[in-house]
């Protein structure tokens, strides 16, 4: 990749060439980002929203083309509606709308591209979902909590990390508490400059004071200034109730957990470790192989350095009792197939294998594998 913008090819011929080679069927293409606005840096890429008549699913792709980094968002009208609504009701970040409305239309304008822009404008005009008082209180609490970490850090490194988190949270609060679209990362300061230049300067100076000298006073004043109209700092007395449906019954996930344990024992990296095998196998473990030979735990936790290739299929998990599960599956290795059965038992908070058996099985043509 060429880092010096002055040494890169002119973006417009590159874009036209890219469209012919990769996006010739696109109905509308919008070129957005810093380079399109004449403020690119040595790290800038070419950002696109590319809209087709129909796509199997939306996706984002990034690649180098003709010396330029390309960042493309691929959509049709239906996927745009989905992601617009997801942003509106979720994080409140309108970057996709702005890329379309503020970007340069590369394809010839027409009814289709006008529909895309109309949709983006309607979503932008509707604004993000309004924060209710419960959400505002939750954000006040989170910001207060991070501010305390900045004022009383365990170390300078943690203070810096907390300040980076505060930039996102406080910037989001400023916009969303006023029912405005917000931004993330570097775009926060850019949005602030366009909405409130003086506040943007306060943000920058407060962060500089902290990052350069470790002084949190200016940042604390900024936090209070933004939170005060909504009740100020908030920690003591905070409560946030999770929805009643926010629970997963162990019975619903236990089969997957047992299958994962069984597969881990089959993993070659685990089979090479006596310690790992010992944690998975019960002390009174017994195994019967397909020849009828019996093995105990000490036999089975010996490291196996051989490289094994096999296929596992027909995995089934059945509950035998509250603390006992049966795993059955078919395994094919070196042209030989066998049915495997394992019994797992709960010991406190852990599950351990207490029994395993392998039995040769027949294939559909009746020949033993």
pLDDT tens sequence across 11-22: 999 999 999 999
Listing DSSP states for 18-43 in one string gives: HHHHH-TT-SEEEEESTTTTT---TT
Beta strand pairing status for 46-51 and 28-32? antiparallel
Residues 113 and 27: beta-carbon distance below 8 Å: yes
Q: State in Å, rounded, how far the first CA of the chain is from the last one.
A: 54
Q: What's the Cα-to-Cα distance from 279 to each of 255, 282, 283, 314, rounded to whole Å?
A: 19, 8, 10, 26
User: Where would I find the beta strands (DSSP E) of the chain?
Assistant: 28-32, 46-51, 59-65, 68-75, 104-105, 281-288, 294-296, 310-321, 324-333, 336-347, 350-360
Task: Provide the pLDDT confidence category of residue 291 given band limits of 50, 70 and 90.
Answer: confident
More confident residue, 42 or 209: 209
Per-residue pLDDT for 50 more than 90?
A: yes
At 295, list the tokens: 């093995």
Per-residue pLDDT for 343 more than 50?
A: yes
Per-residue pLDDT for 364 more than 60?
A: no
Average pLDDT over residues 264-280: 91
Average pLDDT over residues 133-159: 97
Quote the percentage of the chain above a pLDDT of 90.
76
Per-residue pLDDT for 369 more than 60?
A: no
Res 6: pLDDT: 56
pLDDT digits (tens, 9 = 90+) for 194-204: 999 999 999 99
More confident residue, 154 or 8: 154
Per-residue pLDDT for 172 more than 60?
A: yes
Residues 235 and 241: beta-carbon distance below 8 Å: no
pTM, 2 dp: 0.70
Per-residue pLDDT for 122 more than 80?
A: yes
Per-residue pLDDT for 31 more than 70?
A: yes
Per-residue pLDDT for 136 more than 70?
A: yes
Per-residue pLDDT for 275 more than 60?
A: yes
Res 1: pLDDT: 47
Average pLDDT over residues 299-314: 85
Average pLDDT over residues 84-92: 95
Q: What's the Cα-to-Cα distance from 12 to each of 15, 19, 314, rounded to whole Å?
A: 5, 11, 55
Res 307: pLDDT: 74
Measured between alpha carbons, how far is 231 from 229 in angstroms, rounded to an integer? 6
At 83, list the tokens: 């992601």
Residues 200 and 247: beta-carbon distance below 8 Å: no
């Amino acid at each position: 990749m060429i880092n010096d913008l002055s040494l890169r090819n002119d973006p417009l011929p590159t874009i036209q060439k890219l469209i012919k080679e990769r996006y010739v069927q696109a109905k509308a293409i919008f070129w957005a980002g810093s380079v399109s606005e004449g403020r690119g840096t040595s790290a800038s890429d070419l950002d696109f929203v590319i809209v087709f008549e129909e796509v199997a699913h939306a996706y984002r792709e990034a690649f180098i083309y003709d010396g330029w980094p390309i960042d493309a968002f691929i959509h049709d009208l239906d996927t745009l509606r989905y992601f617009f609504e997801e942003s509106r009701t979720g994080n409140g970040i309108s970057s996709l709308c702005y890329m379309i409305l503020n970007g340069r239309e590369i394809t010839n304008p027409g009814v289709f591209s006008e529909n895309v822009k109309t949709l983006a404008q309607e979503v932008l005009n509707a604004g993000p979902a309004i924060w209710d008082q419960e959400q505002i209180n939750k954000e006040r609490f989170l910001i207060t909590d991070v501010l305390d970490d900045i004022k009383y850090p365990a170390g300078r490194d943690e203070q810096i990390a907390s300040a980076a988190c505060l930039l996102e949270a406080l910037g989001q609060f400023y916009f969303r508490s006023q029912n405005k679209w917000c931004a993330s990362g570097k775009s926060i300061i850019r949005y602030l400059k366009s909405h409130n230049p003086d506040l943007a300067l306060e943000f920058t100076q407060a962060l500089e004071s902290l990052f350069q000298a470790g002084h949190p006073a200016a940042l604390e004043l900024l936090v209070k200034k933004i939170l005060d109209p909504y009740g100020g700092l908030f920690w003591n007395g905070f409560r946030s109730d999770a929805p009643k449906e926010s629970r997963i019954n162990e019975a619903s996930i236990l089969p997957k957990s047992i299958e994962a344990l069984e597969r881990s024992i089959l993993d070659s990296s685990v089979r090479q470790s006596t310690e790992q095998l010992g944690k998975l196998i019960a002390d009174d473990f017994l195994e019967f192989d397909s020849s009828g030979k019996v093995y105990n735990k000490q036999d089975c936790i010996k490291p196996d350095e051989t490289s094994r290739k096999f296929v596992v299929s027909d995995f089934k998990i059945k509950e035998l009792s509250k603390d006992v599960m049966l795993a059955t599956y078919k395994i094919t290795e070196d042209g030989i197939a066998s049915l495997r059965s394992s019994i797992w038992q709960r010991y406190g908070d852990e599950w351990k294998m207490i029994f395993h058996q392998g039995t040769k099985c027949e294939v559909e043509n009746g020949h033993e594998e």
